[in-house]
Amino acid sequence: MAVPKLFSEVPMLDTLVFATVLLPFLVAAVLLVLREQNVRKVILVAMAGVLILASVAMLRGGAFILSPAPLYDSLVTLGDFVILFVVLFVGFKRKNQIIIWLTSAQIVGLFWLDFFMVHGHGKTPAFFADDLSLVMVCIVSIIGSLIAIYGIGYMKEHEEHLHLAKSRQPRFFFFIVLFLGAMNGLVLANNLLWMYFFWECTTLCSFMLIGHDDTEIARKNSERALWMNVLGGAAFLFALIVLQHTAGTLSLQDLLARGPELAVAGGAILVPMFLLVFAGMTKAAQAPFQSWLTGAMVAPTPVSALLHSSTMVKAGVYLIVRLAPIYVGTYLSNFIALFGAVVFLGTAALAVGQSNGKKILAYSTISNLGLIIACAGINTPAAITAAILLIIFHAISKALLFLCVGTVEQKIGSRDIEDMRGLYGVMPRTALIMILAIATLMLPPFGMLMAKWMAIESATGQFLIMIMLGLGSALTVLFWARWAGTMLSAPFGRPAPEVQLPSVRLPLVILAAMAVGASFFSPLIYTSLVAPVVAMYYHGTAYVVRLGNLDSPTGVFIIYPLFILLGLGLYFAVKHARKVTAAEVAEPYMCGEQLKVDGKPGFLGPLGLPVAATASNYYLDQFFGEAVLSKWINVIALAVLVIMLFGGAL
């Protein structure tokens, strides 16, 4: 395995780590006490700029190891206990016995681990980064910063809609910025005790942000998110106790270097691996824990976008993918692949039965995370390549879609896709960006389809998993195509001009450009960022870039010829569409004399009464409804988890 550069070899590394991890904590504290709105805007934009520039500079610097001053170890230990006691207080306040007992167990376990087992953290480097960590820092810092900027304009309208006497934006942006710093710390952490601290930070931030509006439904869903993530946090902590006892180290770098050796030497290493993977699954809202993420839709849109795209749930799959080289070739790995495939297929089917735009985004997010977990379980160079690319492309496109849905909801008062019929006539710019975002999730030559192709191809030889991945991908096309088609299905004339605040419009445009640009430069992303990580841990890569295309022994993904065809198709479609005049637009025949009913298309029905025409998609609730599928998906996923524990870990 390649050895990362030492701290001394990377110029200004301490400054970059400070800017991406510690600075957001400090800025968050300032935002909490700051009441001047214009100053808050300036600080947020400046913070976003620093995060973006620092993350890009860190990526250019390459892999590293860094040990801050010993004082920070004490601060992290103190922070762990502060967070746990805050969560315990919430448990008593909400009278939630699950939170109380799980948090109490963590307090006892952390005390034992910190003061009787580890005897100081100083010998373990706090931070270690390879290209996977650095890619995650860029995802968190760039996409998260754009979401924070979007929140400036969004929260203004959101609070006007709620008619608040006193703005809650200081607390809101405190947790948003704190979230970004915690996520950067999490993906850079080498000392697993440091990772545990940042892990619990994200749990607390998500609880506060989901319950931000302080309505009854917001409180209920935030509490559910808290206890499910506290369960994952307990699994994480007790994994560290077992790891310290069996492997004698909490250094992620050491574990990755010794992983196969530890797995072969004895199955005991698989017990903490299962617990850490389980923690990742709860954080990633995998079945049977998906309800916390679907419930999080009650939060303001920037929160939904942050949880689903660049933070929180990505922390879960990051941990599972990060640990994959340790459990490669084990029974645990096979069960992880099966679990991910089940969730991918099941939640894709649940998304088919939804008309609520945010619920479609929620279930499709859980589904894609399941696909990433399946790739981690398949655990070959091709599968890990697919997993990392899925993380990158999904983060960009899903953040863009969430922000679009929030913008549309504030304009038309609905997030139901049936109410988005003919959206281009009302919000032409946002409608086109939404359609572009959907296209990047389902069509060639965009990166998501390429990564799904890699995932399915990597499952060759595992027939059941390959079939589930194929069926899940087909269902994905169904609900994305239905949504895009709905927005363009109503006849319209000249679209109305769309007015947006710059803080809303700019993130949408930048993310749209990133979604297309990342796919266009996917061969470069693969060769410079993904292939080195795969080669480091798997001693080889699965794909070769030839003439800008990704080639493997089983097939080739053509990129630039498809981009040319897509561009030509778009050019001729727009050219011919502009030639169609209003007189040539004919409404569909409705089995009777056509007329206008309240200004909308209709026809003369029975008894000579006017009937308004309505159009709607089929959602096939009898097959894809939540009431039909959720129970069975949860039962199957739970069964696989139990088998994974007793068959894989033991």
- Separation CA 103–CA 109 (nearest Å): 10
**Does residue 445 register a pLDDT over 70?**
yes
Which ranges of 163-289 would DSSP assign to H, the alpha helix?
169-188, 192-210, 216-246, 252-265, 270-283
Task: For residue 587, name the pLDDT band (cuts at 50, 70, 90).
Answer: low
Region 382-401: mean pLDDT is: 95
- Separation CA 179–CA 633 (nearest Å): 31
Question: Percent of the chain, pLDDT > 90?
Answer: 66
Q: What is the pLDDT of residue 197?
A: 97
Please tell me whether residue 137 adopts helix, strand or coil conformation. helix
Q: What is the pLDDT of residue 586?
A: 65
CB atoms within 10 A of CB 582: 8
Q: What is the pLDDT of residue 491?
A: 58
> According to the per-residue pLDDT averaged within each range, which of 9-18, 183-192, 572-581 is highest?
183-192
Query: 331-352 and 463-487 are packed helices; what angle lies between their axes, rounded to 10 degrees?
Result: 30
Q: Which of 297-301, 444-448, 590-594 has the lowest mean pLDDT?
A: 590-594
Nearby residues of 522 by Cβ (< 8 Å), 6 or more positions away? 389, 447, 450, 550, 559
Average pLDDT, the chain: 89
Return the higher-pLDDT residue of 644 and 101: 101
Nearby residues of 347 by Cβ (< 8 Å), 6 or more positions away? 287, 290, 363, 364, 366, 367, 370, 633
**Does residue 486 register a pLDDT over 80?**
yes
Task: For residue 447, name the pLDDT band (cuts at 50, 70, 90).
Answer: very high
Please tell me whether residue 189 adopts helix, strand or coil conformation. strand
- Separation CA 265–CA 636 (nearest Å): 31
Phi-psi region of 324 (alpha: psi -120 to 50; beta: other; left: phi over 0): alpha
Region 350-373: mean pLDDT is: 95
Please report the sign of the dihedral spanned by the C-alpha atoms of residue 231, residue 234, residue 236, residue 239.
Answer: negative
Q: How many helices (H) and strands (E) does the chain have?
A: 27, 8
CA 30 to chain centre: 27
Q: Give the domain ranges of the chain.
A: 38-327, 330-582+628-649
- Separation CA 553–CA 442 (nearest Å): 24
Region 564-574: mean pLDDT is: 89
Nearby residues of 553 by Cβ (< 8 Å), 6 or more positions away? none
Q: What is the pTM of this model?
A: 0.94
**Does residue 495 register a pLDDT over 80?**
no
600 sits in which H/E element: strand 600-604
Q: What CA–CA distances, in Å, run from 438 to 119, 398, 431, 573?
A: 51, 9, 11, 18
Taking the chain, what is the end-to-end CA distance rounded to the nearest angstrom?
28
How many residues are present in the chain? Answer: 650
